[in-house]
Structure 1
């Protein structure tokens, strides 16, 4: 089965990234900024009774991702069975014929997945971790401003690098480890500055800095383990029932399926033990509609999150799970600028100092060979 166009790793004489990789990283910047800004906007200043259910949003996101991946699998199978001379991704055939062939093309691949359940179970651990991460991120956005959230979330670069060494035996240069240490210092500067600001002016009444920072820390850890584990599965030697390596889209179908299963189970248990504001079980409280609190912003978040999941999978496959930190680093600057312009966020000097340190660390980590050359030439 065909997948995304393969891109060879650049040699030392070539540019750092190929055009295809640059496109993926650029899309990652846009997606990161949009999700954080819209996520913060959807949580800030909204009464608790009017907020949407994060569990429902995450479940709908996974359902959309599942539908998109199943469609891509069907298109890939049709292209394989009906070779086309055109360079278009869609098969060279009328749309009605493509739609007619889609059920059988998808059914063929689904039957292969069901014939090898052990291979599919490999993605269940990262599915559970991604589900936890996606749920807790909104708790962080509820209690932190968009810039502070973005900056503190860069700590996942450190945890991802450490987990990559443990699970993938990846080697990093001395300059890269120094960059990670400086990144940690930068995050500490931002956090300490934000604590001083909160203690000085009391901070927004609807925000809890401690809860927000704990949520970011847990999201960083779950993101690191899930991302590296998924990278190991995608780039590993696991095969489908036909002996060929399992495609990227099949892995995403499996990931979305397990996420939906875990989301359903989590939703059942959370409703069983949920309480109202008085601390009583909510068994006697009328249930809200499943899409209560959903607005155009919420649906945009679902679309962006679903597309972002596919984008991360492509970056893991064709670039590097840690190098994508370069894109998120750029996203910090862009989202901070937009947050100041449209959300009224104030940027203090501690934040600026820590943010510059973090961005410089991310750049040095991703361009360690260039940094080493500059130091040698001095």
Structure 2
């Protein structure tokens, strides 16, 4: 019962986290204010660092706040198993790319279209939903979707084939993510970093986005560990519907079409069918 409860609790948290992250990130990337806009690559690095620190605290808590036990776990599970640790480099690199693409997408799309494109592109009658290029945003979303599917399945395989804790795996994932993220900062935003620093444009809203992104990595790992990657996909789909409602009624930057409503109903039906467990027919032992 406890693992089953963890599965649905983590699923619910993932739905809320994904919805909050999409809306908050979209608002933070399109908000016009004084000073430079924060660097997306810097925010990705900050989220990875925060995730690593959080996982270290959780491992520390699991071992009764013993520094010696924490040091032993880190040495045994990370340093002394280099091949196991290197396996996390592949999904980590993909997740880092995906996180950067999310900022690109939400800088060019409204929250609902970012999660589920519904308008035609490039036609004379299409209307841009933001000041950025809708085509760039949709391409970023598509690349993120394909890469996310592969990384999710790969990470699920690693999690369920070993007995390492989810938090240790996230530390390994975060270490590679931190390295890849720092490379991205200095390759793509090195000049801006030298001019105004890594944390240029940061405010309370930016740190909220960073915290939500770090939380997302932990929750996704929990969902994959206690459920599976398919259920994680349904959580993302449910967050699409929730984001759409908020985007339509509150942000007023999205006008859903009949096709979108049809897709939403299919998502709800698919989620129900996947989680439904019918009664098995009774076996008549007298005929056996």
Q: Same fold (TM over 0.5)?
A: yes
Aligned position for 1:220 = 145
Count of residue pairs the alignment pairs up: 278
- Alignment check: 8 A CA contact 1:6 1:318 kept: no
* Distance of aligned partners of 1:27 and 1:257 in 2 relative to their CA distance in 1, 3 Å threshold: same
- Alignment check: 8 A CA contact 1:74 1:106 kept: yes
- Alignment check: 8 A CA contact 2:42 2:199 kept: yes
- Alignment check: 8 A CA contact 1:43 1:51 kept: yes
Unpaired runs of 5+ residues, structure 1, are 8-17, 79-97, 153-189, 238-244, 273-281, 374-378
Aligned position for 2:255 = 347
- Alignment check: 8 A CA contact 1:142 1:207 kept: yes
State the TM-score, normalizing by the size of structure 2: 0.87
Aligned position for 1:265 = 183
- Alignment check: 8 A CA contact 2:110 2:254 kept: no
- Alignment of structure 1 residues 32-111 onto 2, 5 Å: 32-46=18-32, 50-78=36-64, 98=65, 101=66, 103-111=67-75
Shift of 1:68: 0.9
Aligned position for 1:247 = 165
Shift of 1:326: 2.5
CA distance in 1, matches of 2:89, 2:107: 28
CA distance in 2, matches of 1:117, 1:6: 33
CA distance in 2, matches of 1:271, 1:147: 28
Q: Is 1:296 aligned to residue 204 of structure 2?
A: yes
- Alignment check: 8 A CA contact 2:37 2:200 kept: yes
Query: Deviations along 1:87-106, whole A, 9 cap, x unmatched?
Result: xxxxxxxxxxx4xx3x3222
Query: Deviations along 1:204-261, whole A, 9 cap, x unmatched?
Result: 4612121111000000011111111111111114xxxxxxx32221111100011111
CA RMSD in angstroms, aligned pairs only: 2.6
CA distance in 2, matches of 1:220, 1:129: 11
Q: Is 1:146 aligned to residue 111 of structure 2?
A: yes
State the TM-score, normalizing by the size of structure 1: 0.67
Greater C-alpha Rg: 1
Shift of 1:47: 7.2
Aligned position for 1:313 = 221
CA distance in 2, matches of 1:346, 1:118: 47
- Alignment check: 8 A CA contact 1:44 1:142 kept: yes
Other structure's SS at 1:293 match: coil
